[in-house]
Structure 1
């Protein structure tokens, strides 16, 4: 699968800007770059040292396309492990296209999505999980997801998996050796040490698998549904959380006919707020569709904010408690936060009374004023408390990739089989089969075991130029 033909792509975002970077990689990358570059000091790029910069012009025959800065990275000391040059030109889309077309006419071809990183993997510059972390780093949009991607790209996850795989591989070799001397009935692998190793591997795998619950929400954001009757202040709350007029606020019931979504980062964690249509009985066909979507959004959300108007709650508390119980029973696994809005209109005694009425429901209760932005920070802290970020603070490995999660589950299943076989004196040849399967799934994570289809699926999701 490894090609070393010269590939070219724009490495910076498409569109006009101050500077654009065009990347070329491959055996002939420097030769092709040299054929279209004229140094202001008449330098030959082929004779220049690696990791050097050169000022000059891109020339198409007698026509000068742009004044540029060319960076040289000679393999294997480059991102891809191949000869690579990067042309920093002015950010005009016309200039970008003219230079890329010139390079295509001179022996380059357009890079496929993620092909530069694919070549880095195939040339041993990084393993598969590190390559996937490159895409995660590019798409990270908050502190937590950035931190996890950086840790994985530096090899934190890879090193942990590689160490487990190496230890298991050593014992697997001894088990396989026993099969060669089956007639002598000897044991090369110390069963006690092997059992201790399996316990340790099982413990680490379970910790990594459990971390996916946190890692997945950090990477993709936590969907939060804001629900309640019309005109309780859902749109006002959304605007207060986002600190902008994102949703239309009106005294007319049913103004929000559809769901409105927006994102906010709280404490380095991304939250995706969904302002839904008000829940009420209505004959309006369009509004009814919106209410149906509300329940669909609750189903998709991981946290539910049930918002109430404080003045209405005072006089209809028994009815509302029944509604809260319905939502709680319908979605028992979702954290439910009951938010009493228009706090500024309540006395201390009224607040105390509402607290006593709701304390038996075992739900989180927050009083706030969305309009006056009182208590909004308390709500943000409550939302943040639903995310276990202790692993981030302790710099532990967190799994965010679904493919890794699947391989870890399969590896744990095989390790459990090996452990059961060891405890029940299963024959070495049968145990060896389970050990091989466990090693296979470890290898699938880091790319020690792979195939073209897997690589195609992974790198097809990358942007072109990376």
Structure 2
């Protein structure tokens, strides 16, 4: 296997830059670029980095054996001064060493997968952790990266193997009297597993929203102050404000962090009857996006206003022009003065937090589909167990199919066609 190298820290000027080398020639590369004996594994030492007698930099050298490295193979790390010139010079020096080549996107992590250091769910979580913008995204990615999915899958597979062994025993001894009817135990195992999997499938929708972000739409009549409110929440002039009705004709989006959740605020066109064709298109888009949003904020000018859409459970109804209201019990806000903004942000955070109950196991659509396949196979097994002419060989095959789907969930089988897409999203040094 080739030995690969790449800058593992961010490009550009920094206090420290890290270049990682992984593969069978990693320690030899360290010998050629430093003087003296190699240090003990996992012990940082100060070394001059040089090639053909020319000193390129002075930094730390760290070595990791295959059994204790990220990639599952020998790794050398050079912690250098983080200048563009230094990293460029060291990378050029590595290109002259036989057996070394630059790493491709995500190649270090791919080797960790191939060498059994990570399963596919952990690889996906690592990508999510690198991309995490909010606290909720970080917590979710760290939990999966810690191996929670793999541990749960192994427990499920163990129970499936028990059920399959019981069924296959009846097949192996079909011509003999089996002393115990195994059907009740197999049915109990399959029913319990199906219940657990369905709960995880139901919870996965919210986990996916944490990855991609929740959408919160601001809905109201023209001139209700929606754009002013959006600007106040965003802390900048994201939307044009005007006293002319119909100024907002398309959906304006602003990304925010609210209570640790990634949120995209949507400023929609004012909802009203109109003969203006272009404004009508904007209103139709507003209704469609608001209907698809995870949460809607209905901004009214007074308590007598009729809601332009039917609110769903959890939607927020508030009055604008909070500086004109004296009743503290009324949820109101002023985009101009900022009054009531803290209460509104708190309410949004409460609504989103209430939907993110517990710790969902699945965080990607691929994982959800794999578990849905496993659940479907369990349903088939239970159906055959309950049929009048119970076909134990079909029950056994359905249990094996459920186990294969779980193996696909963690990347043990049948995922080669999607690996390129997954690793293409990684940076070169990861």
- How far 1:93 moved relative to its partner? 2.3
CA contact under 8 A between 1:411 and 1:437: conserved in structure 2?
Answer: yes
1:368 positional shift: 2.3
- 2:196 aligns with 204
Residue of 383, 389, 396 corresponding to 2:348 = 383
CA distance in 2, matches of 1:151, 1:257: 42
Structure 1 residue 342 and structure 2 residue 321: aligned?
Answer: yes
| 1:173 matched residue in structure 2 | 165
**1:405 to 1:294, Cα distance in 2 relative to 1, 3 A:** same
| 1:135/1:247 CA distance change after superposition, 3 Å | same
Superposed CA offset, 1:212-249 (max 9, x none): 12211222111112233333221221233234444444
Report the TM-score, using the length of structure 1 for normalisation: 0.83
Residue 93 (structure 1) aligned to one of 80, 84, 100: 84
Given the alignment of the two structures, is residue 44 of structure 1 paired with residue 37 of structure 2, yes or no? yes
In angstroms, what is the RMSD of aligned CA positions?
Answer: 2.7
Q: In structure 1, what is the Cα distance between the partners aligned to 2:136 and 2:241?
A: 32
254-263 or 197-206, which deviates more? 254-263
TM-score, reference length from structure 2? 0.90
User: What is the rounded CA distance, in whole Å, between the counterparts of 2:226 and 2:60 in structure 1?
Assistant: 53
- Residue of structure 2 aligned with 1:19, choices 16, 20, 24: 16
Q: Is the 8 A contact 2:105 2:425 kept in 1?
A: yes
Distance 2:411 2:294 in 1: 33
SS at match of 1:20: strand
Partner of 2:51: 60
Does the 8 A contact of 1:177 with 1:188 survive in 2? no
Task: Give how far 1:422 is off.
Answer: 1.5
Q: After the TM superposition, which residues 374-453 of structure 1 pair with which residues of structure 2 at under 5 Å, given as runs?
A: 374-387=339-352, 389=354, 396-424=359-387, 426-453=390-417
Native 8 Å contact 2:204 2:360 kept in 1: no
* Secondary structure of 2:175 counterpart: helix
In the aligned structure 1, how far is the partner of 2:415 from the partner of 2:164? 23
Unaligned runs of 5+ in 2: none
Give the secondary structure class of the aligned counterpart of 1:145: helix
Structure 2 counterpart of 1:28, from 13, 16, 25: 25
Distance 1:201 1:233 in 2: 51
Which of 296, 300, 309 lines up with 1:304 in the alignment?
A: 296
Aligned length: 428
Unaligned runs of 5+ residues in structure 1 are: 353-364
Q: Distance in 2 between matches of 1:129 and 1:104?
A: 33
Match for residue 372 of structure 1? Answer: 337
Question: Deviation of residue 307 (structure 1)?
Answer: 2.0
- Look up the match of 2:214: 222
Inter-partner Cα distance in structure 2 for 1:388 and 1:184: 58
Contact 2:148 2:361 (C-alpha < 8 Å) held by counterparts: no
In proportion to residue count, which structure has more helix?
Answer: 1
CA distance in 2, matches of 1:189, 1:100: 67
More displaced stretch, 296-305 vs 14-23: 296-305
Q: Distance in 2 between matches of 1:391 and 1:287?
A: 36
